Structure 1
Amino acid sequence: MKITDIRTYILGNSWKNWLFVQVHTDEGITGLGEGTLNGFAKTVETAIHELKHLVIGMDPFDVEAISLKMIRDVYSDGGQIQGSALAAVETACWDIMGKAMGQPIYKLLGGRCHDKLRCYANGWYRGGSDDESFHNQAKEVVAKGYTALKFDPFGAAWRTVERVDFASAIRNIAAVREAVGPDVDILIEGHNRFSVHTALQFADAMAPYNPTWFEAPVPPHRVSSMVEVAKRSPVPIATGEDYYNREQFAELLKHDAVHIIQLEPQFLGLSASKQICGMVHAHNGVTAPHSAQGPVCSVVCAHLNMATPNFFLHEIFDEFNHSWAQEVLTPPFRVENGFLQPPDSPGLGIELNLEEAVKHPYHPGHWLPLFRQGWEKRELVD
């Protein structure tokens, strides 16, 4: 079997343009992948078309060689853009392999490790940034059956925070805990916002509300800063979604400080993601892959998580997106009472509904400006 063509499609979702890929073969089997990256849909699309000449004619089963072609052989560090391009193509190759073998991808990655995957809700907080809004919306989430939910209570804060805003963020956390009760996991999203001392101040202040983790409290580029926060914080630290190669995870894990690893298959591809899950396993850690790009990414994570013994939680945006987003994939990918199963059909088990996709064109305002007041409403940005 040989790869004959790679085609791309951008779908305009108001909080992030989604980029999808179809890899075609000479045997008529096609594979689906995703290359979504906030603010860079057209850039990643260009990268895919600029690099596809390297893999046309290759066997889609040779995913390790394809990764070397698109990463090592280029001899440039394109970071998350290059990683997104690689992951889109490589995921589609896994989809092709599964279809050719008549097996779902998770069977090819090691088989079923779990009866079902526990999900945490994200993207549910779209009202005001006050504690009453957080309280009311959190109640709606647990009413859907979720036993875990994540939120960013910090508004547009960056590095340091004024006292009034600090108090407001802690009130938001308290309001969510009061709304969901003591038995639901609450996960605090930091979005790489803070300096080390601000992050530690927040960690101390939120500790009485028993968060399951404090995610990405400081920027990821200086591992020493993340390690310092992790070793001093009374709340477990989770991180990893920004890294795009194995070496970055190796550097983080060697410090034995962060044990909740949020790798991003969208930047790594499934082969490297599976290997990193093994690295985390060897360090007595758990994985909670980042799954906040688009709907194909969520399915990819479901397959990876099902085949990962040390899987912890699966991130879900899909149920809190536009209603039409459920129609982008066929069959629709749905959460049931806070849990999900990856599709059991061959490959990813889903296909892109092109008829629905073309109804939602690319728009340059479709991106998430995390440090702009009111970003959590996920409205169109001109």
Structure 2
Amino acid sequence: MRITEIETYIAGNPWKNWLFCRLSTDEGISGIGEGTVNGFGKATEAAIHEMFQVVKGMDPFDTSRLSLLLFRDFFSDGGQIQGAALSAIETACWDIKGKALGVPLYQLLGGKVHDKLRVYANGWYQSEAGRTPEAFAEQAKEVVRRGYTALKFDPFGTAWRVVDRPEFHLTVDIVAAVRDAVGPDVDILIEGHNRFSVATALQFAEAIAPYQPSWFEAAVPPYRIASMVEVAHRSPVPIACGEDYYSREQFSELLSHDAVSVVQLEPQHMGLTAARDVVGMAHAHNAVIAPHSAQGPICSLVCAHLNAASPNFYLHEFFDEFNAEWEGRLLTHHLTQENGYVVPPEAPGLGADLNIDEILRHPYNPQNFLPLFRTGWEQRRGFESTH
């Protein structure tokens, strides 16, 4: 079997253009992948077509070799854009392998360890009432009513590095209100979006600790691993991170300090071959994984298969129920949550195909990205709505 061509499609989701691909072979079996990166849809699409020339004519079963060539042979650090393009191509190859062999993807990743995956809700806090404790509390109650036993939110508004005292107290009040709304047995997860200095992150960690969050995520920017490690060692709240990294080496350095115990690798920034290695590295360091799954619906499927086959799986991030209603029609199959759990598909490969007609109804828009440091970003309406 040989790879013959690739097609790319962008669905214009208002808060992040979703980039998909379909890879074809000379035996008529095709596979799908995703290369979504916030704010870089067209750039990553171009990277997919440039990088495709390296693998055209290769056997799609050779995923380890494909991954190596797409990462190493360009001899440039293309960061998340290169990683997402690599992942889109490589995921499509895994999908082809599963279809050719007649088995779901998780079987190719080692077989099922978990029959179902506990999920946490994200993307649910979009109240027209604005950023108030009351608005967060009411929405959190609705999330729990839907069956979720865990939920994540960013209570920090547009904060960056430091905050003034009124903002600090408002943020803590939001966390307290959500805890009061959902009760003591629901996991609340605090999203930091790489916002803070070490000192500010630790101040917040101390202040929210009484409300028992299960983790404080991406409390400081990822570029200086020493800063992340310092926060993790000193924080009374478990620190989670990893979504920004795109190589094994970054995770190796992070894990060598035995400070971060919740590893949020992003398969879409490195591909499944590298992601499996990172899962094993985390397992060896007694850490659990909660992969970042805040892209499109193929990303969610990929993470579900990876999680099902990972012994150290902790939680599955789930946006699907809080996206635009048409998102569920982009694929022939999508994950659905029931009583706080999802189950990966049993069909061969990823278990889904692209619905091209539906994708074409939602064209690319350069303003479709999440402007995290502009007022109203949590409404997830793209860049223009923040003005």
Same fold judged by TM-score > 0.5?
Answer: yes
* Secondary structure at 1:224 match in 2: helix
Question: Can you list the C-alpha shifts for 1:186-231, whole angstroms capped at 9, x where unaligned?
Answer: 0000000000000000000000000000000000110110010000
Q: How does 1:156-305 map to 2 (within 5 A)?
A: 156-305=158-307
- Which consecutive residues of structure 1, in runs of 5 or more, have no partner in the other structure? none
Amino acid at match of 1:168: L
- Residue 169 of structure 1 and its aligned partner are, at CA, apart by 0.3
1:379 and 1:110 map into 2 onto residues whose CA distance is 39
- How far apart are the structure 2 equivalents of 1:14 and 1:378? 7
Provide the residue aligned with 2:6 in structure 1. Answer: 6
- The alpha carbon displacement at 1:355 in A equals 1.0
Separation in 1, partners of 2:218, 2:55: 35
How far 1:61 sits from its partner (Å)? 0.4
Corresponding position of 1:113:
113
Q: Give the letter for the 2:284 counterpart.
A: A
The aligned residue for residue 124 of structure 1 is 124
Q: In the aligned structure 2, how far is the partner of 1:231 from the partner of 1:261?
A: 15
CA contact (8 A) 2:301 2:334 kept: no
Q: Secondary structure at the match of 2:114?
A: coil
- Partners of 1:268 and 1:51 lie apart in 2 by 14
Per-residue CA deviation, residues 283-338 of structure 1 (Å, 9 max, x unaligned), is: 00000000001110000000000000000000000100011111111123211121
Counterpart secondary structure, 2:151: strand
- Report the alpha carbon displacement of residue 175 of structure 1 after superposing the two structures with TM: 0.6
The amino acid that maps onto 1:158 is: W
**Residue in structure 2 matched with residue 347 of structure 1 by the alignment:** 349
Render the CA deviation track for 1:149-193: whole Å, top value 9, x for unaligned.
Answer: 000000000000010000000010001000100000000000000
| One-letter amino acid of the structure 2 residue matched with residue 373 of structure 1 | T
Could you say what secondary structure the match of 2:20 adopts?
strand
Gaps of 5+ in 2: none
Q: Which amino acid aligns with 1:193?
A: R
Q: Does the residue aligned with 1:329 lie in a helix, a strand or coil? A: coil
Runs in 1 of length 4+ with deviation above 6 angstroms?
none
Counterpart pick for 1:376 among 363, 375, 378:
378
- Partners of 1:244 and 1:115 in 2: how far apart? 28
For the pair 1:59 / 2:80, whether they are aligned, the reply is: no
Deviation at 1:80, TM superposition (A): 0.4
Aligned residues: 382
Which residue, 313, 322, 336 being the options, matches 1:320? 322
Pairs within 5 Å for 1:70-89: 70-89=70-89
Where does residue 37 of structure 1 map in the other structure?
37
Using the alignment, how far apart are the partners of 1:241 and 1:53 within structure 2?
28
CA distance in 1, matches of 2:189, 2:335: 23
Query: In structure 2, what is the Cα distance between the partners aligned to 1:375 and 1:367?
Result: 9
In structure 2, what is the Cα distance between the partners aligned to 1:233 and 1:73?
Answer: 40
- Residue type of the alignment partner of 2:66: I
Equivalent position amino acid for 2:208 in 1:
M
* 1:71 positional shift: 1.3
- Which residue identity lines up with residue 60 of structure 1 in the other structure? P
2:308 corresponds to which residue? 306
Report if the CA contact (8 A) 2:30-2:96 is conserved.
yes
Equivalents in 2 of 1:310, 1:381: separation in Å? 37
RMSD: 0.6
Task: Show CA shifts across 1:68-122 (max 9, x none).
Answer: 2211011111000000000000000000000000000000101110121000000
* Equivalent residue runs for 1:89-104 within 5 Å: 89-104=89-104
C-alpha distance after superposition, 1:333-380 (max 9, x if no partner) = 211121001100000001111111110000011000000011000113
Query: By how many angstroms is 1:64 displaced?
Result: 1.1
Q: Structure 1: how far apart are the matches of 2:19 and 2:247?
A: 21
- Alpha-carbon separation, structure 2, partners of 1:283 and 1:380: 38
Which AA in structure 2 matches 1:38? N
Q: Deviations over 1:32-79 (max 9, x none)?
A: 000000000000000011111110000000011111221101111100
Pairwise CA distance, 1:381: 2.2
Sequence identity (%): 66
CA contact (8 A) 2:190 2:216 kept: yes
Distance 2:383 2:85 in 1: 25
Output aligned runs, 1:140-159, within 5 Å.
140-159=142-161
Q: Determine if contact 2:194/2:219 at 8 Å carries over to the other structure.
A: yes
